């Protein structure tokens, strides 16, 4: 069958265009490594959820998660394997967030945030503990398929906060300021849990709970 030079040229041009367009077609709202929402999109999405929650009188839970001593993974196995492990952790976090009716974002490095609309602080803590336990029980494959080794085990520490936990002036804050405050509260709780021993969950302005 004779080759149609014109069709071949058109096909090649289309293929080249697809390759060139790949970076532009990537979702600009998502982190390139993990596929989760990126930090900037997180702030916009959280602000929007707070605006809706204020209108309806709902609560919002927020989890701030940090992997424990993840630098050791990079130091021991290298950053390529570290990136594979981060991607797998992100998938686990993303699934957990969706199952709880929320969404997840990569905050930066090995830090992640889960937003849980219509969830109060107590339920946020239960979701956080389930997520912590699930990660602790998971063995992650550092090798490229079909090779799995090195097998890596990581744990995490999680701080939880909620929009209504103070029962006070959240409605008086702008949604943008309320979002910043929630992130700061959950981040502070996470660091308090780190200082208490890592691999545990803590609520903002509460004692740490979970495994030592």
Let me know: does 91 contact 134? Beta carbons within 8 Å.
no
Asked if 107 and 64 touch (Cβ cutoff 8 Å), the reply is yes
Distance CA 1, CA 49 (A): 60
Q: Which are the contacts of 153, defined by CB distance < 8 A and separation ≥ 6?
A: 138, 139, 140
User: Is residue 110 annotated as part of the catalytic site, yes or no?
Assistant: yes
Q: Which of 31, 38, 110, 187 is catalytic?
A: 110
With 0-12 / 13-18 / 19 or more C-beta atoms within 10 angstroms meaning exposed / middle / buried, residue 30 is middle
Active site residues: 110
């Amino acid at each position: 069958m004779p080759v149609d030079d014109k069709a071949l040229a058109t096909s090649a041009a289309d293929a080249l265009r697809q390759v060139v367009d790949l970076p532009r077609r990537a979702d600009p709202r998502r982190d390139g490594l993990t596929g989760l929402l990126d930090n900037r999109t997180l702030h916009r999405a959280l602000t929007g959820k707070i605006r809706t929650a204020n209108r309806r009188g709902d609560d919002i839970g927020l989890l701030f998660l940090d992997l424990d001593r993840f630098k050791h993974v990079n130091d021991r196995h290298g950053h390529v394997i570290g990136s594979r492990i981060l991607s797998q952790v992100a998938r686990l976090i993303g699934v957990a967030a969706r199952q709880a009716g929320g969404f997840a974002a990569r905050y930066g490095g090995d830090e992640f945030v889960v937003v849980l609309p219509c969830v109060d602080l107590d339920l946020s803590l239960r979701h956080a503990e389930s997520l912590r336990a699930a990660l602790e029980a998971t063995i992650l494959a550092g090798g490229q398929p079909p090779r799995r080794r090195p097998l890596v085990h990581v744990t995490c520490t999680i701080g939880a906060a909620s929009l209504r936990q103070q029962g006070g002036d959240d409605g008086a804050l702008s949604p943008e300021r309320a979002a910043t405050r929630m992130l700061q509260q959950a981040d502070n709780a996470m660091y308090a849990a780190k200082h208490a021993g890592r691999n545990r969950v803590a609520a903002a302005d509460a004692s740490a709970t979970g495994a030592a």
